[in-house]
Amino acid sequence: MLFVIEHLELKLSEWLHIEYSHAAQIVGRKRLLITNVKKRGELCKLVEIARVERKPARELFKQRELIVLDPRARKKLSPTDMRSRGVIVVGGILGEDPPLGRTRELLTRTLPRAPARNLGKEQFAIDGAIYMAKRVGEGKSLEKVPVQHGLEIQISEVHSTFLPYAFPLVGRKPLISRELIAYLKHH
- Residue 118 CA to residue 133 CA, distance in Å, equals 10
Q: Where are the domains of the chain?
A: 2-144
pTM listed for this prediction = 0.95
Q: Would you say 8 and 90 are in contact if contact means Cβ atoms under 8 Å apart?
A: no
Looking at residue 143, what is its pLDDT?
96
Interval 130-148 mean pLDDT:
96
The DSSP line for 141-180 is -GGGS-EEEEEEEE-SSS-EEEEEEEEEEETTEE---HHH
**What fold characterizes domain 2-144?**
Alpha/beta knot (3.40.1280)
Is the pLDDT assigned to residue 22 strictly greater than 90? yes
Q: Name the nearest CA neighbour of 37 among 63, 70, 59, 69.
A: 59
pLDDT at 172 over 90: yes
Q: Which band of pLDDT confidence, cut at 50, 70 and 90, is reported for residue 99? A: confident
